[in-house]
């Protein structure tokens, strides 16, 4: 098949070159954006008198027919035509003749592919924002059910202080809030219209780039043609967001794996969200959590690859930039899948309240509260810390926990201990008394629930606005 750029060449390209150069196998997913962008471009060319109104109408009608064919599965993509742009343009020209050959007036594949990527990213950002909100809603919903569910909080994976399961999940809710904020920043980077930059230096034709931007709902237009075709910051920003989001989900995945183990037994995953072993009949494996944890490294790789690809490129367009798509597309698919499946997995898991309660009652995570008890009695904290440390050592030596030591035994370490010390050691009291802003007290959780609902409402409004500007 003749190349649309073949006029300067005396030989056909080698088949291996065709295969290596082609991007159609992965950039065909840009067909909707490519056609929509071409319709806007053709309409603008006709408005500006660069092509005739008749040709403009033929082009628009032909492109709409091709869109129908692609969506019906009646379009054959040709590797020899390299990419989505040339596949569509070649088919258009076949169908409507010379009018189709005029479509590429005042544009290049350089600014065309940039336009497609910007539009595609905006669409995906809106879809990811919706999935992110749904995952946040799931976390908040489960947290609300477990405001009074006690569990150990950990540092260094060692039991540290009593908290609630609600407080633990709210930590992830807060992480996702920040991810949503970063996703907004990705939208801003994607909401710039590059078409009209041409290959590098714009065009000699009297085009109206702002008309195209308005047709396609872009908020801004690139002010420099070289920047417009070479910029991939928005891709890197998306991959940075994706890496951060997956990092947060990977941390939760690690905890899901621990919590669902026999050693912890804090949760049980629904059968629909776990797998078994082909050899060991008793197994129930947290495969989803493990896969999300594993795929996090994959998304990191896409970010690193794009940074390395872009770091040494001179202005403007270089074929290296074709490498921006596969990693980006894969990251999009990965985080959308992860968010969707995680939402349902979180909502259907069983929380073993008794097991968590038992865990927090059979440890020394109340030791800090015992030190705070002595501080309220007048002892400086550093001295109180030493006293309680000796109490803990004594308890361990005698195979006891702090509530099991008698008052008489406590008196051996400090005369400040009174009968009310047992109240200070109760896990529910340890939690309830931590009313400092952002703390795990039941009352503070309630405040965080209310704040979370407001955040979700605000995010829904932002999502609606994004959807209106696609």
From residue 198, give the alpha-carbon distance in Å to each of 36, 98, 212.
18, 21, 14
Annotated catalytic residue, options 10, 156, 223, 278: 156
Annotated catalytic residue 443: no
| Dihedral sign computed on CA atoms, order 218, 222, 227, 229 | positive
Annotated catalytic residue, options 52, 261, 277, 443: 277
DSSP collapsed to 3 states, the chain: CCCCCHHHCCCCCCHHHHHHHCCHHHHHHHHHHHHHHHHHHHHHHHHCCCCCHHHHHHHHHHHHHHHHHHHCCCCCCCHHHCCHHHHHHHHHHHHHCHHHHCCCCCCCHHHHHHHHHHHHHHHHHHHHHHHHHHHHHHHHHHHHHCCCCEEEEEECCEEEEEEEHHHHHHHHHHHHHHHHHHHHHHHHHHCEECCCCCCCCCCCCCCCHHHHHHHCCCCEECCCHHHHHHCCHHHHHHHHHHHHHHHHHHHHHHHHHHHCCCCCCCEECCHHHCECCCCCCCCCECHHHHHHHHHHHHHHHHHHHHHHHHHCCCCCCCHHHHHHHHHHHHHHHHHHHHHHHHHHHHHHCEECHHHHHHHHHCCCCCHHHHHHHHHHCCCCHHHHHHHHHHHHHHHHHCCCCHHHCCHHHHHCCCCCCCCCHHHHHCHHHHHHCCCCCCCCCHHHHHHHHHHHHHHHHHHHHHHHHHHHCC
Pairing of strands 220-221, 192-193: parallel
Annotated catalytic residue 156: yes
By annotation, the residues acting in catalysis are 156, 277
């Amino acid at each position: 098949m003749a190349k649309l750029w073949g006029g300067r060449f005396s030989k056909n390209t080698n088949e291996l070159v065709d295969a290596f150069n082609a991007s159609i196998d992965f950039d065909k997913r840009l067909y909707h954006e490519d056609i929509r962008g071409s319709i806007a471009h053709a309409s603008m060319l006709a408005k500006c008198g660069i092509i005739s109104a008749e040709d403009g109408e033929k082009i628009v009608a032909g492109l709409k027919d091709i869109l129908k064919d692609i969506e019906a599965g009646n379009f054959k993509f040709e590797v020899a035509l390299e990419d989505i742009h040339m596949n569509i343009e070649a088919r258009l020209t076949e169908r409507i003749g010379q009018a189709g050959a005029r479509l590429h007036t005042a544009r290049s594949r350089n600014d065309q592919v940039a336009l497609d990527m910007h539009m595609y990213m905006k669409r995906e950002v809106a879809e990811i924002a919706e999935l992110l909100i749904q995952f946040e809603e799931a976390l908040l919903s489960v947290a609300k059910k477990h405001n009074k569910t006690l569990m150990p909080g950990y540092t260094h994976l060692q039991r540290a202080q009593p908290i609630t399961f609600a407080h633990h999940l709210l930590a992830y809710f807060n992480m996702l809030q920040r991810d949503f904020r970063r996703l907004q920043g990705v939208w801003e980077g994607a909401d710039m219209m590059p078409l009209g930059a041409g290959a590098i230096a714009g065009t000699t034709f009297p085009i109206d780039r702002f008309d195209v931007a308005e047709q396609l709902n872009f908020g801004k237009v690139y002010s420099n043609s070289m920047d417009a075709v070479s910029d991939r910051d928005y891709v890197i920003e998306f991959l940075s967001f994706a890496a951060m989001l997956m990092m947060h989900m990977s941390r939760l995945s690690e905890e899901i794996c621990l919590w669902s183990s026999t050693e912890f037994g804090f949760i049980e995953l629904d059968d629909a969200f776990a797998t078994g072993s082909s050899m060991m009949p008793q197994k129930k494996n947290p495969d989803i959590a493990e896969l999300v944890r594993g795929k996090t490294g994959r998304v990191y790789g896409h970010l690193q690859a794009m940074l390395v690809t872009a770091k040494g490129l001179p202005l403007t367009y270089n074929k290296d930039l074709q490498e921006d798509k596969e990693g980006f597309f894969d990251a999009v698919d990965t985080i959308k899948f992860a968010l969707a499946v995680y939402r349902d997995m979180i909502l259907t898991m069983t929380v073993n309240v008794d097991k968590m309660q038992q865990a927090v009652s059979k440890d020394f995570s109340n030791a800090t509260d015992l030190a705070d008890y002595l501080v309220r009695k007048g002892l400086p904290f550093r001295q109180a810390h030493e006293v309680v440390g000796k109490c803990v050592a004594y308890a361990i030596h005698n195979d006891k926990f702090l509530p099991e030591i008698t008052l008489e035994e406590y008196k051996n370490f400090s005369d400040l201990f009174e009968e009310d010390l047992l109240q200070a050691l109760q896990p529910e009291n340890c939690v309830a008394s931590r009313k400092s802003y952002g703390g795990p007290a039941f009352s503070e959780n309630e405040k965080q629930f209310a704040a979370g609902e407001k955040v979700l409402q605000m995010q829904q409004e932002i999502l609606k606005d994004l959807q209106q500007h696609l």
